[in-house]
Amino acid sequence: MTPRIFPLLLAVAAAGCATANPTPAPCPEPPAPEVTAPAGPTAADAKAFADAANVRLRELLARLETTGYIAATYITPDTERAAAWAESDLMAFLSEAIPKAASFRDLDLDPDTRRFLQLLRTKPTLPAPADAKLRDELAGISSRLAGHYGAAKYCGPDGKGKCRDLDELSNVLHAGKKWDDLVDAWVGWHGTAAETRGDYQRLVELGNQGARELGFADLGALWRSGYDMPADDFAAEVDRLWNQVKPLYEKLHCYVRRRLSEQWGADKVPLDQPIPSHLVGNMWAQDWGALYPLVAPYPKVASLDVTRAIAKKKVDAKAMVKYGEGFFTSLGMPALPQTFWERSQFVRPAGREVICHASAWDTDHKGDVRIKMCIQGTADDFVTVHHELGHVYYYLAYDRLPELYAEGANDGFHEAIGDAVALSVTPGYLVDVGLFPKAPNDDKAVLNEQMRRALDKVAFLPFGRLIDQWRWDVFSGKTPPSDYTGAWWRLKHDIQGVAPPVARTEADFDPGAKFHIPGNTPYMRYFLAAILQFQFHRALCKAAGHEGPLYTCSIFKNAEAGERFWALLQMGASRPWQDALEALTGERQMDATAILDYFAPLSAWLDAQNAGQQCGWQ
């Protein structure tokens, strides 16, 4: 019996190696197949990938911005869920696209493609893990934290009193009348963050995992890598800039603390200790403008009360924004699109929860720009309008560029643009736009105005410096979850010289009471902006042909300054920030000396006031 396989073997033999010899010869070895090495990625592949990524990013970011705007102006579980879905989609794209971008790094690429891929790699501020479940979890946490912040209210120590939101509690601090009321408002708002501690800890864990999957040590290292220099060099640059301005801040701190001690008593404000945080008129002690009536160099000398002028002229919220638009159009920039006026939120709407934190939005990355504010007709709102419109005009200038270039030269540039404009809101400008008939110009009035601005600009510097230092330490593991609040207050003490009004413990989560922490918005941009705005202002005033002290300059209606300004905005992120800075200022290094130039009169006055006084803190 022959196995059925035999015929098959014979057939193979007959077909492949038949012979007349009755003893069959062995079949020869078949020729080895020709092996072709798989083709690696090419420069053309990289360019095609970058082009496609720009298109897809524009779609995803438009969806994210649109749903984010809705979630911020209609806070409901549904809008939060929609925003989370959009964020998850963006995270999914980036989690796949960024490793792909890394595969092209060793190729000889054209400059645009190489820059696209580098910008893509450092784009996410909250990179998600590749695992879809973890990505969805992270998106949900992010949306939930933002929603909690926007809807948070303090209802009294026992939870049964009148419920007050951040605006109402901030107004208590700004008024600064009764010690116990100030403590209650401060403690009340900070207490709203305690329940978000667990969510934030998990956000850090997942964000770090996402950053490591992209090749970074942690989320902080990713953030610091987005400045066209090595991450460690950037950290050193921040220290250098802070040390340039630290002496001016310490002079202001010394004088303000002495005046607070005189008001509240040395037992409550000792002259060798940090300033109690709840006394400076701001929930986070990031600006001290509310203290101006107390610390004005010459309180009897008339100064321009913008809040009163706005009320007297019955300038409503929309009209206030019109003032801001008028500044930009006076420089030769285009009018805002009609959709801006139809779709922006200018005041707190009745009957629904919103996030009132002022922000600018580019909802479709094709010109549908908006701002979101709850304007109350104050001098601060007037300046903030100019700041937010700086973002808006940056959007309009670079939206024509590929998506990965549709950013500020670095994130500090984006914040600095509007602030540089606000430096031109001088007494002369306020007269030019009709808010006042004339401006005081004597030396005493100058010092008053310098103090008013310093309480905003100079007082902010250490706060802007420390926020991300805290997060860098959290992301790296230097600050564990068991020390979140303790590390926060050590930095506030050491860098800012402020202290909480009551003892804080790890049952609290005071960092979470500041929007940018639960919102996961990098904060170094604001510190850099505080430096760059004065450097920009000095350069623009030079372009405008201004003569005289820097603090007297306004570029309002100056076409030459406007042309240079618009050219900078149109560059977006198409070149390293050093190139963009040089194009406007002629300098390739950020420089805080323009702040010292601007505040030279106040600095000399503070030296005289602090002579013989005890400055610094234990």
Q: How many CB atoms lie within 10 A of CB 347?
A: 15
The span from the CA of 43 to the CA of 538, in Å, is: 42
Taking the alpha carbons of 99, 103, 106, 108 in that order, is the dihedral positive or negative?
Answer: negative
Asked if 410 and 507 sit in the same domain, the reply is yes
Local structure of residue 265 (DSSP, 8 states): -
Percentage, residues of the chain above pLDDT 70? 94
Instruction: Give me the residues paired with residue 217 across strands.
Output: none
Q: For residue 240, how far is the Cα from the chain centroid?
A: 20
> Does some domain include residue 172?
no
Confidence band for 357, pLDDT divided at 50, 70 and 90: confident
Instruction: Give me the residues paired with residue 369 across strands.
Output: 362
Q: Is the pLDDT of residue 398 over 80?
A: yes
Asked if 502 and 603 sit in the same domain, the reply is yes
pLDDT for the residue numbered 105: 82
Q: What is the mean pLDDT of the chain?
A: 90
* Alpha-carbon separation of residue 588 from 465, 573, 582, 585 (angstroms): 21, 15, 5, 8
Asked if 311 and 205 sit in the same domain, the reply is no
The span from the CA of 461 to the CA of 248, in Å, is: 10
Q: Is the pLDDT of residue 483 over 50?
A: yes
pLDDT for the residue numbered 159: 87
**Roughly how many angstroms between the first and final C-alpha of the chain, as a whole number?**
104
Confidence band for 565, pLDDT divided at 50, 70 and 90: very high
Residues ≥6 apart with Cβ < 8 Å to 316: 377
At residue 371, the 3 state secondary structure works out as strand
Residue span of the structural domain in which 508 resides: 241-610
Q: Is the pLDDT of residue 29 over 90?
A: no
pLDDT for the residue numbered 31: 54
Percentage, residues of the chain above pLDDT 90? 78
User: Which among 509, 511, 507 has a CA at the least distance from the CA of 492?
Assistant: 511
The span from the CA of 91 to the CA of 85, in Å, is: 10
**pLDDT tens figures, 124-135:** 899 889 899 998
Asked if 483 and 378 sit in the same domain, the reply is yes
Confidence band for 20, pLDDT divided at 50, 70 and 90: very low
Q: Is the pLDDT of residue 560 over 80?
A: yes
Domain count, the chain: 2
Asked if 275 and 140 sit in the same domain, the reply is no
> Does some domain include residue 140?
yes
Q: How many CB atoms lie within 10 A of CB 541?
A: 22
Confidence band for 203, pLDDT divided at 50, 70 and 90: very high
The span from the CA of 192 to the CA of 208, in Å, is: 26
Bridge pairing between strands 369-372 and 359-362: antiparallel
Q: How many CB atoms lie within 10 A of CB 553?
A: 24
**pLDDT tens figures, 256-274:** 999 999 999 999 999 999 9
Asked if 271 and 340 sit in the same domain, the reply is yes
* Model-wide pTM > 0.85: no
pLDDT for the residue numbered 526: 92
**pLDDT tens figures, 303-340:** 788 899 999 999 999 999 999 999 999 999 999 999 99
Asked if 212 and 245 sit in the same domain, the reply is no
Q: Is the pLDDT of residue 51 over 80?
A: yes
Q: What is the mean pLDDT of residues 429-441?
A: 88
Q: Is the pLDDT of residue 442 over 90?
A: no
Q: How many residues does the chain have?
A: 618
pLDDT for the residue numbered 34: 52
Q: Is the pLDDT of residue 8 over 60?
A: no
Asked if 374 and 461 sit in the same domain, the reply is yes
Asked if 137 and 246 sit in the same domain, the reply is no
Instruction: Give me the residues paired with residue 498 across strands.
Output: 275
Q: What is the mean pLDDT of residues 390-395?
A: 95
> Does some domain include residue 545?
yes
